Amino acid sequence: MVIRIASIVLSFSGLLALILGLLLWNKMALNLVQMHMLLGLLAVGSLWVIGIGQAFARSGSWSLAVVALVVGIAMIGLGMTQSSLVVGELHWMIQVLHLLLGLLVIGIGHMGTARYRRGNLRA
């Protein structure tokens, strides 16, 4: 049940963070940076719950759990510091990397959820 709730939280917070991030990228919602960051932290927290939870399932993968933890740490690190990285004309590269990490957070979380569900079906 915890994995299912974490998956739902990941889906909603990840999608909303993605939408807000695209609005921020286009300078349409500059007053919602903190909301974007909160949604990102919720998504990463959900990823970690799913990553650790699926590792303890019958068909769980510890390597997927480690990847989930590393990607989450990278996402938080980049997200918190991106405004000061490569300031200027080439800042779009950091934004693209942040976007790709966000998509990776969502994807790895759903991979972990699927692995967990497969493990519980065989029980």
Span 73-116, pLDDT tens digits: 999 999 999 989 888 889 899 999 999 999 999 999 999 999 99
The per-residue pLDDT of the chain, averaged, comes to 93
pLDDT on residue 86: 87
pTM of the model: 0.91
Q: Compute the average pLDDT of residues 64-72.
A: 97
pLDDT for 22 beyond 70: yes
More confident position, 27 or 10: 10
pLDDT for 65 beyond 80: yes
Distance CA 78, CA 43 (A): 14
pLDDT on residue 122: 59
Whose tokens are 């934004």? That residue is 95
pLDDT for 123 beyond 70: no
Range of the domain at 6: 2-121
Tokens of 28: 């349409």
For 67, counting Cβ atoms within 10 Å of its Cβ (0-12 exposed, 13-18 middle, 19+ buried), the class is: middle
**CA 49: distance to chain centroid?**
11
Q: Provide φ and ψ at 76, rounded to 5°.
A: -65, -45
For 81, counting Cβ atoms within 10 Å of its Cβ (0-12 exposed, 13-18 middle, 19+ buried), the class is: exposed
Length of the chain: 123
Structural domain count of the chain: 1
Distance CA 31, CA 95 (A): 18
